[in-house]
Structure 1
């Protein structure tokens, strides 16, 4: 099987004279928790609907599980589960009854999967309680159970924490992590809240006004947002030696352009400056850098808007 669960190539969707998505290239590997982030109206839901086959692209292609033949994608999409917008629940039925209806609709043989899935999402002991009396968090977990009923390899969740209280968000997040860790489930989860996805995703795609601005791993995002002193001196090699031998720190990186990123001593800029100068180095630039996740996203989006 291909290591890529999903690849899109210049995927575009146009409504009348306006692009909802334009030339989107996304790659999701097996085992990823992919956080698809953008403001409301950025094109996230359109992208998800294209992937699961609820609408069709204007141009470009979608590859699922190594298959990009449009006529065969319907069969491949059976290996997926999804919650797009609100879960389709029968409010006058119990959790078990809801799953039984969906099992029959999907043609899944045997009833064993119902109890197994209810236990997986923590709803096995809800008994005769009807879905209309569930908390919002329980309804979201029931929706997730419906998406998981066919034991998919890839699951798509559109804004799954909308309206949840902090405890509900934590419970859903931990459940998704558990499914990813124990079952190897690949997850695509959209949200407009970067801080929420940062605690969950292993890879990010940032979308704005129908365009993918950036795709990066959680480690790369952490590095971009990590607070540091940005130092440029006339001799970067000697600068690194001074930091290590005089300031007794190895928590720094020397970049290809010679810039040193120092992650320690952030609150002691004067000491860093004096140490470098006293050891014969000419400081060409010294500043404090790094963003919060929210400000990084705002700068990225703002830079596009002001181009």
Structure 2
């Protein structure tokens, strides 16, 4: 049994002279929440359309649940739930009526799945209220409910928090965490809202102008973005001893040029500098350094212009 629900191999899509996706090798691990990051027009929606079978690749291949050919691949797509370019809702129908209509369209037997799915997304008590009168967050949750009909194992959402107010964003975030943690669902969520994705995703893929720049886990991302105090003193060896004894930490690195990276006590720089000065050291440089998650993404995306 494969550890991955999705793997692509040099997946490429070209429209006349424009290459929308360029030899993309992307892997989504089973049980993960994969944050697919890129600016508008980066190729996220094109990629999703290829995976879900709404468009055909120009070149390359993909593997879904271990299946990569013909009918087996199409059969595997039935295990996917998706929202692409906004949920398809009937505005004059209630939540129950919307799900019932989509249940019939998908040929799913039995009505019991409708109320069960609405309960999962927190819309069971909306009664006779029409979808047109729902908030944007409620509409998005109803769209996710439609995608959940048929109990998919892999949920693909294209910009699901775009345009939502802060409360709506929180609702969708908590719902996706619930689907992942309580129901074991693998989720791919594409977005350009970086500050939100880092609260949700366990894995990341960064795409820019059709090129997949990087894939990394949340731990790898945090390591690359780790905050630290950059310290340069006249006697780095003495400073290291002071940090071990008076700051009770080994979380530092003395670099070849003598500068020190202190990964501990980042929130109390005054305490660190006071101790070093009181021990007779001369501080030549002292500043917090490191990137936040958003600046890392923007540097990676921006770096393509200089490469």
User: What TM-score, normalized to structure 1?
Assistant: 0.89
Aligned residue number for residue 213 of structure 1: 213
RMSD of aligned alpha carbons: 2.9
Q: Report Cα offsets for 1:72-131 as digits up to 9, x if no partner.
A: 211000001000011111111111111111111111111110010011111111111111
C-alpha contact 1:265 1:272 (8 A) present in aligned 2: no
Q: Which moved more, 1:250-259 or 1:53-62?
A: 250-259
Structure 2: stretches of 5+ with no match in the other structure = none
Residue 137 of structure 1 aligns to a residue whose secondary structure is: helix
Q: Which aligned pairs between 1:261-272 and structure 2 lie closer than 5 A?
A: 261-266=261-266, 267-268=269-270
Q: Report Cα offsets for 1:240-280 as digits up to 9, x if no partner.
A: 6553234322334689999964223443575687699969x
Q: Which aligned pairs between 1:1-307 and structure 2 lie closer than 5 A?
A: 1-230=1-230, 243-252=243-252, 261-266=261-266, 267-268=269-270, 288-307=288-307
Q: How many residues of Structure 1 are paired with residues of Structure 2 in the alignment?
A: 304
Question: Matched residues in 1 for 2:231 and 2:224: separation?
Answer: 16
Residue 304 of structure 2 aligns to a residue whose secondary structure is: helix
C-alpha contact 2:242 2:276 (8 A) present in aligned 1: no
Q: 1:128 to 1:251 in 2, by over 3 A?
A: same
Shift of 1:189: 0.1
Structure 1: stretches of 5+ with no match in the other structure = none
User: What TM-score, normalized to structure 2?
Assistant: 0.89
Question: Matched residues in 2 for 1:4 and 1:169: separation?
Answer: 28
Q: 1:261 to 1:47 in 2, by over 3 A?
A: farther
C-alpha contact 2:239 2:281 (8 A) present in aligned 1: no
C-alpha contact 2:239 2:276 (8 A) present in aligned 1: no
